[in-house]
Amino acid sequence: MIATLTWSAIQSLVIPAGIIALAVGLGFLLQFVMDRRVTESPAIRRRTWLHMILQAVGAGFVFWMAALGVQVAIDLTGLAGPIVHMLDDLVLVLVLLSVTVVAIRFTGAAVLQLSRGPGRQIASGALFASLSQVLVAAMGIIIILESIGIHVTPLLTALGVGGLAVALALQPPLSNLFSGLQLVASHEVRPGDYVMLQSGQAGFVEEINWRSISIREPTNNIIVVPNQLFTQSVFVNYRLPEPQIAARVSLKVAYGSDLDFVERLALEAVQLARQGFDRRETSSDAWVSFEELGDAGVSLAVSFYVPRIVDQERATSAFLRCFYKLLSEHGIGSPSKKPVVPRAAKFAEPRG
């Protein structure tokens, strides 16, 4: 009698559980093979969209094998009654859950790919990827609940009573989320822009996610600013209205120099300094203004456009080298008897 009951218990509980556990383990193994072997092969990685599809599908193996294990356990053990109906609902939930997980992973990867691809169809991939994944997850949960007989409308009505309390508790995250959406929608800033904050910190915008904006400084450090704080502060976007910016170099030349000739040499030095930069979308305008008749010489300023703010320092250095060489070749600015600062070239003294 005891042996019969024991064997009956084993048949009704242990064997189905073992089948399901074996199926789940096989699902993890298939997912591991897909993630580490198939999707990481060079042939697959070269095909971006195929790589994203296989990565998303790999997340569903565990759920699919679990559903298969439950179905096999039902068929082998011959269960009947309410338990069978519960297990059938479990199989349906696992299948729908697997589809939801695959859709979530593929949607997030697709949005990120569109944000990084040619033309940057989406301005902020991280933010919209998170929103799209939340939307897909919400739709999947609604479908799963409806499929097992749980109607969502009364549930949402009941939850609406506590909606105010939830909104107050989530006020900081929601404020950052909507501030990030406002930044993206207004096109005031986007990944790749060079911005300067009110605090004086500056760098390239790396990404705008649902909580914060990440800015990479020239020193390769990352500044993380909450979206709400960023939208409420004053910042300079050096991409707007266009990326090019004027570089200005202040100099002095000795008295007795031919100022017209100095101006021509300065403009020639500008053209030489620009040779190392991309000039396709940069204005070729350059101008020289004489500002002051000082104690040590004539003060002048040379202004010209460079492609981006980060090119300003390198362009200024290149201009000074070219201008110094041209002045030396034409004998302008020879050593003065009363230099302001002892230098090899007394004709020029940068102000900073």
Q: Using alpha carbons, list the distances in angstroms from residue 86 to 31, 81, 93, 148, 274.
A: 27, 9, 10, 10, 74
271: Cβ contacts below 8 Å, ≥ 6 apart? 286
Clarify whether residues 50 and 149 are in a common domain.
yes
Residue 347 lies inside a defined structural domain of this protein: no
**Which has more confidence, 189 or 126?**
189
Clarify whether residues 218 and 186 are in a common domain.
yes
- 155-169 average pLDDT score: 59
Q: 3-state secondary structure string, the chain?
A: CHHHHHHHHHHHHHHHHHHHHHHHHHHHHHHHHHHHHHCCCHHHHCCHHHHHHHHHHHCCHHHHHHHHHHHHHHHHHCCCCHHHHHHHHHHHHHHHHHHHHHHHHHHHHHHHHHHHCCCCCCCCHHHHHHHHHHHHHHHHHHHHHHHCCCCHHHHHHHHHHCHHHHHHHCHHHHHHHHHHHHHHHHCCCCCCCEEECCCCCEEEEEEECCCEEEEECCCCCEEEEEHHHHHHCCCEECCCCCCCEEEEEEEEECCCCCHHHHHHHHHHHHHHHHHHCCCCCCCCCEEEEEEEECCCCEEEEEEEEECCHHHHHHHHHHHHHHHHHHHHHCCCCCCCCCCCCCCCCCCCCCCC
Clarify whether residues 6 and 144 are in a common domain.
yes
Residue 345 lies inside a defined structural domain of this protein: no
The predicted pLDDT at position 302 comes to 92
210: CATH: 2.30.30.60
What is the spatial distance between Cα 318 and Cα 262, in angstroms, rounded to a whole number? Answer: 17
Of 54-58, 114-118, 186-190, 333-337, minimum mean pLDDT range: 333-337
Clarify whether residues 109 and 252 are in a common domain.
no
Q: Is 289 exposed, middle or buried (0-12, 13-18, 19+ CB in 10 A)?
A: exposed
Last residue of a domain, one of 111, 131, 161: 161
Instruction: Give the up-direction half-sphere exposure of residue 215: CA atoms within 13 A in the CB hemisphere.
Output: 20
The predicted pLDDT at position 286 comes to 87
Q: State the chain's mean pLDDT as an integer.
A: 77
Clarify whether residues 138 and 24 are in a common domain.
yes
Residue 350 lies inside a defined structural domain of this protein: no
The predicted pLDDT at position 351 comes to 44
Of 54-68, 149-163, 313-327, minimum mean pLDDT range: 149-163
Is 334:340 a contact under the CB 8 Å cutoff? no
- Taking alpha carbons only, the member of 135, 129, 224, 240 closest to residue 190 is 240
Last residue of a domain, one of 161, 187, 215: 161
Clarify whether residues 75 and 200 are in a common domain.
no
What band does 31 get if pLDDT is binned at 50, 70 and 90? confident
Cα 205 from chain centroid (whole Å): 8
249: CATH: 3.30.70.100
What band does 343 get if pLDDT is binned at 50, 70 and 90? very low
Clarify whether residues 192 and 153 are in a common domain.
no
Indicate the number of domains in the chain. Answer: 3
- 21-45 average pLDDT score: 81
The predicted pLDDT at position 334 comes to 41
Q: Is 269 exposed, middle or buried (0-12, 13-18, 19+ CB in 10 A)?
A: buried
pTM (predicted TM-score): 0.53
What are the phi and psi torsion angles at 293 (to 5°)?
Answer: -100, 90
Cis preceding linkage at 241, omega within 30: yes
The predicted pLDDT at position 163 comes to 57
Clarify whether residues 50 and 141 are in a common domain.
yes
Is 332:265 a contact under the CB 8 Å cutoff? yes
The predicted pLDDT at position 336 comes to 44
- Asked if residue 67 has pLDDT above 80, the reply is yes
Residue 125 lies inside a defined structural domain of this protein: yes
Clarify whether residues 16 and 121 are in a common domain.
yes
Clarify whether residues 67 and 182 are in a common domain.
no
Residue 337 lies inside a defined structural domain of this protein: no
pLDDT digits (tens, 9 = 90+) for 213-266: 889 988 888 999 998 888 888 888 888 887 788 888 988 888 888 888 889 999
Other beta carbons within 10 Å of 118: 5
CA dihedral 271, 273, 276, 279 (to 10 degrees): -40
Domain that holds residue 232: 175-237
The predicted pLDDT at position 281 comes to 63
Residue 141 lies inside a defined structural domain of this protein: yes
Residue 199 lies inside a defined structural domain of this protein: yes
- Asked if residue 36 has pLDDT above 50, the reply is yes
Last residue of a domain, one of 127, 161, 195: 161
What is the spatial distance between Cα 106 and Cα 57, in angstroms, rounded to a whole number? Answer: 8
What is the spatial distance between Cα 129 and Cα 122, in angstroms, rounded to a whole number? Answer: 10
Clarify whether residues 208 and 87 are in a common domain.
no
Clarify whether residues 145 and 194 are in a common domain.
no
Residue 341 lies inside a defined structural domain of this protein: no
Instruction: Give percent of the chain with pLDDT exceeding 70.
Output: 78
